[in-house]
């Protein structure tokens, strides 16, 4: 149990399984479904659609290793420097390579591989230079400060400048090379969530955003909380915190859908980091509990049913409501955590099976495989079409061999220098003042609670001009948090008409919650939105190109300000053209049908104190008008209150 070499070897094997699931998820193997009976398609899903399961296992391992190896980093910046040095060099090699490939156009397969190797060799030279400089000055800290500052700068530029430029203008009028350079810069800094139309150069980058966010939070949030929790003996309190964290992460995933910067981070998967840290910070206790289970479970054969339960998460994809997918993956942390604990026991449990040489080999190169496999798949399918079972196996073999080759090169060029870095200084002094630990815990819980309250307000704060009145027009259908009710699909054959009675004068905008855009036929279809008065006379209409539309909780439809609109009735019509279009726009009416926006005159507002006070109260109360705000607040309170209760414990 104390032999870390056995644990680490088995963990590499587990990591190898995870990376295989990710790779198979991205290989286009539709032919396997077309060539087999429907009855076995669900079993194929276990292998071919389990990429998210693989990512979840990797997140769990990350949380575990951070708590196990770095239980108390003395310096936050030292910890961040170490993690940034592990994550970014190889990642930046791939981002720069992909950007060059995109700008260069139709490069041959060989030339694209040479680009990656060329950028990798250049990066290795820079790495070695930094290692030499690091012996004289703290270059790691300097680079970390610089890169975090650059990330903040790019995020602000994306949010406050680039987002003001409509996506059609950006993609149709800006220089193509400049577009790729900007895409490369946004991808390289992992600031993709701060906007909504710069795409990923590689489809796996979203998980690196989530992982980086965890690294930033780990010494600030996780260390002080788990350090305090592990000193307490109350098993009931710990169980309550554990269960309430499930609800917390689920609601956090719902909140994230309302905030641009959080949506891509997939907060529901943060539960895997939490469980990983919980196991890693108190591993001996978990191992002792596991060894008390029936011996049949401890035998290697017990690995198979646990893996099948974990892989069963893919079954949630067939459910009509995607929220069930989030719930399924949250609760699958339990069997995944069991798998992790068993893995750390080595020969005492299932660890021996996971020490398979091929799996351990894949685990060693897992990060490089994660970064390179998508490019290899894209190159392979240009030469091998998976239109038959035979070709699909050739494609799999080509992808695995090609990915291993490129990953091996990337590992030895870029990742190997990481292990030459000095170890992080860790404070393992058990006699640390209990009062200091408790004070850190109290301030952490207070800051965490305040941050969650501000996030909730931000989630329900409308993004319209400050000098406006905003009124939600509530849906007449009861709210449902489980079923996909209150969704209206607008097609070329199914128009949508809604009415409203204006609450104020100067009606100038209506916003709609556009949940999903289905560009099915790839034609130039448009969403036509019209505003009519009570007599059916058209006031204004706007056309939106469906190809360039993005999901938005507050999709705006502006029109000439109606100065005398108060108490008048209006009609809004949504329609897709042309009539033969197959495209769909899904409008979410769960919270409200739409929001009406009324514009104010700044001079008149300042001259009228009574009106100014009413405007101020109106803007302040905006987030609190939604029933969803209170539902989410009540859902996150159990975890926050559970943490707060122990801050008053005098023992």
**349-408 confidence digits (pLDDT tens):** 777 788 889 999 999 999 999 999 999 999 999 998 888 888 888 999 999 999 999 999
H helices then E strands: how many in the chain?
26, 10
What is the mean pLDDT of the segment spanning 34-46?
73
- Sheet with 569-577: strands ordered across: 496-501, 569-577, 526-533, 538-545
**564-574 confidence digits (pLDDT tens):** 999 999 999 99
What are the domain boundaries of the chain?
468-599
Total-model pTM? 0.85
Alpha carbon distance 342, 355 (integer Å): 13
Q: What is the dihedral of CA 327, 332, 334, 337, to 10 degrees?
A: -130
- Please answer whether residues 301 and 353 qualify as being in contact, where contact means their C-beta atoms are separated by less than 8 angstroms: no
**66-88 confidence digits (pLDDT tens):** 999 888 888 888 899 999 999 99
How many residues appear in the chain?
A: 651
**341-356 confidence digits (pLDDT tens):** 988 887 777 777 888 8
Which range, 119-128, 249-258, 466-475, is most confident? 119-128
Q: What stretches of 76-175 show up as alpha helix (H) in DSSP? A: 76-104, 109-133, 139-160, 167-173
Alpha carbon distance 58, 25 (integer Å): 15
Predicted pLDDT at 4: 46
**599-646 confidence digits (pLDDT tens):** 988 888 888 888 888 888 888 888 887 888 899 999 999 999 988 886
Alpha carbon distance 189, 42 (integer Å): 38
**334-344 confidence digits (pLDDT tens):** 999 999 998 88
Predicted pLDDT at 400: 94
What is the mean pLDDT of the segment spanning 459-473?
83
468-599: CATH number: 2.60.120.380
């Amino acid at each position: 149990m104390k032999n870390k070499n056995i644990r680490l070897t088995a963990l590499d094997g587990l990591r190898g399984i995870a990376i295989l699931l990710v790779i198979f998820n991205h290989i286009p193997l539709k032919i396997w479904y077309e060539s087999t009976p429907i009855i076995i398609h669900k079993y194929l899903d276990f292998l071919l659609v389990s990429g998210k399961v693989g990512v979840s296992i990797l997140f769990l391992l990350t949380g575990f290793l951070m708590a196990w190896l770095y239980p108390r980093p003395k310096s936050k910046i030292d910890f961040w420097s170490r993690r940034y040095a592990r994550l970014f060099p190889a990642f930046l090699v791939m981002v720069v390579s992909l950007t060059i490939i995109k700008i260069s156009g139709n490069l041959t397969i060989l030339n694209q591989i040479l680009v990656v190797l060329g950028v990798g060799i250049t990066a290795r030279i820079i790495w070695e230079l930094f290692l030499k400089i690091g012996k004289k000055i703290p270059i790691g800290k300097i680079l970390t400060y610089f890169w975090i500052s650059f990330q903040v700068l790019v995020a602000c530029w994306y949010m406050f400048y680039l987002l003001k430029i409509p996506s059609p203008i950006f993609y149709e009028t800006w220089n193509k090379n400049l577009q790729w350079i900007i895409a490369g810069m946004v991808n390289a800094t992992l600031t993709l969530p701060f906007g909504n139309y710069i795409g990923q150069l590689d489809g796996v980058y979203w998980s690196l955003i989530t992982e980086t966010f965890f690294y930033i939070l780990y010494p600030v949030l996780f260390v002080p909380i788990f350090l305090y929790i592990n000193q307490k003996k109350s098993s009931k309190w710990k169980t309550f915190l554990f269960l309430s964290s499930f609800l917390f992460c689920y609601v956090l995933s719902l909140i994230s859908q309302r905030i641009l910067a959080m949506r891509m981070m997939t907060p529901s998967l943060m539960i895997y980091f939490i469980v990983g840290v919980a196991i890693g910070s108190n591993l001996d206790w978990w191992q002792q509990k596991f060894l008390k289970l029936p011996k049949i479970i401890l035998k290697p054969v017990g690995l198979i049913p646990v893996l099948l339960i974990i892989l069963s998460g893919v079954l949630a994809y067939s459910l009509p409501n995607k929220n069930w997918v989030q719930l399924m993956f949250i609760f699958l942390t339990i069997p995944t955590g069991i798998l992790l604990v068993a893995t750390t026991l080595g020969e005492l449990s299932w660890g021996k099976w996971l020490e398979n040489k091929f799996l351990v080999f894949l685990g060693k190169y897992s990060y490089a495989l994660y970064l390179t496999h998508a490019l290899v798949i894209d190159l392979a399918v240009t030469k091998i079409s998976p239109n038959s079972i035979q070709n699909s196996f050739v494609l799999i073999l080509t992808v695995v061999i090609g990915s291993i080759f490129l990953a091996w090169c990337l590992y030895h060029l870029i990742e190997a220098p990481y292990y030459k870095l000095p170890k992080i200084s860790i404070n393992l002094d058990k006699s640390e003042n209990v009062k200091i630990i408790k004070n850190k815990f109290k301030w952490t819980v207070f800051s965490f609670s305040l941050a969650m309250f501000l996030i909730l307000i931000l989630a329900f704060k409308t993004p319209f001009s400050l000098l406006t009145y905003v009124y939600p027009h509530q849906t007449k259908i009861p709210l449902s948090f489980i079923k996909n009710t209150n969704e209206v699909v607008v097609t070329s054959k199914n128009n949508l008409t809604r009415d409203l009675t204006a609450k104020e004068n100067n009606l100038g905008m209506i916003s709609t919650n556009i949940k999903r855009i289905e560009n099915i036929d790839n034609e130039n279809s448009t969403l036509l939105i019209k505003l009519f008065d009570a007599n059916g006379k058209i006031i204004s209409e706007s056309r939106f190109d469906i190809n360039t539309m993005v999901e938005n909780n507050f999709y705006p439809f502006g029109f000439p300000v109606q100065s005398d609109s108060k108490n008048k009735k209006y009609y809004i019509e949504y329609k897709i053209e042309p009539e033969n279009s197959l495209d769909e726009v899904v409008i979410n009416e769960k919270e409200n049908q739409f929001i009406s926006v009324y514009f104010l005159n700044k001079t008149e507002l300042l001259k009228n104190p009574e009106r100014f006070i009413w405007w101020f109260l109106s803007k302040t109360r905006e987030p609190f008008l939604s029933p969803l705000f209170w539902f989410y607040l009540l859902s996150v309170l159990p975890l926050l209150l559970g943490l707060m209760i122990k801050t008053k414990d005098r023992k």
